[in-house]
Every structure is written in C-alpha cells, then in structure tokens.
Amino acid sequence: MKAHCPIVTDLALKEKSTRVLMCYNATWLRIGLHIVLGGDSLRNEGRESDQEDIFLKLIVENQFFTHTVIAKSYAYNKLVDGLYKPGFFEALGSIILKRFLLLVISLDRAKCESALPLNCGIDGKDGGSPLLFSPHSHIKSSRQAVQGSC
C-alpha cells in the first residue's frame, strides 16, 4: 500500500480494493475468505448468485477491512468507537495488506495446483474447476489484482 495513503483512512482506496476482490469468482472468493478469515460463516447455504455477491461484499467490507483485537488494543476508551492511540492506522493497514496478499497468493496457488485430472479441464467449461476471476471483470490475473489494489 502507499505509505501516504493507508487503506484504513482512504475510502476511495478501500472501495477500489473491494472492487478488485469482487472481481474474483464467487466460489473462489468464498474459499479465499475462508482461508484468510476462517469460520463457518462463509458456507453457501443455497443463496442465489445475486445474493451471494451481496453477501460476499458485506463480508469483505465488514470483516476483511477490520480487526477487532487491534481496535480494542489501540482504543483510548473501550466504550467509545473511533478514538484510537497513535499507530492504530498503520497496524490495521499492515494487517489488511497481509490479508489481501494472503488471499491473492492462496487463491492463485490453489488454482494452479488444482488436483483435477487433465481430462476434466481447467477452464470451467468442460467439468473442470471454475475460472478464478469472473468472466465480465476487468481483472484477469493475480498480478493485475495486486497492482489494481495499490
């Protein structure tokens, strides 16, 4: 991330990073968020594709870009949100950057190291694994995802 423009305080950069993450195929993004955030809240429980996109965007906005332990440890007053000691924005920014890079690297590695046999295909059209990025997205590679979020 840019040193003078942390993702925690710059809403435009946060929105840009959210758009980059939403370029992933919903299936792969759910897997990546499960790797990074953990928990069972990312199971697909029969949601429609429109609902799935909204659900994943809410998870990204509300859980990916926050960290409650850091917020509590840097808070001046535990009862008042938004008042943080110096260093909070840098600490949270580094955690978000680590999460973002872990998500991109783990999904790229999982897609490359797919255990599907060659006769199943890899392009999602003939029974293979789905595409890593949505077909209508402007981002088509992990390199573009990292460059697009900075």
What would the pLDDT profile of 61-97 be if each residue is shown by its tens digit?
888 888 888 888 888 877 777 777 888 888 888 888 8
Q: What is the DSSP string of 55-70?
A: HHHHHIIIIIT--HHH
Taking the CA atoms of residue 133, residue 2, residue 94 and residue 114 in that order, the dihedral angle to the nearest 10 degrees is 20
pTM of the predicted protein model: 0.78
Each residue's pLDDT tens digit, 31-49 = 888 888 887 656 666 666 6
Backbone angles phi, psi at 24, to 5 degrees: -70, 150
Gap between the Cα atoms of 24 and 75, Å rounded: 34
Q: Is the dihedral of CA 139, 134, 37, 112 positive or negative?
A: negative
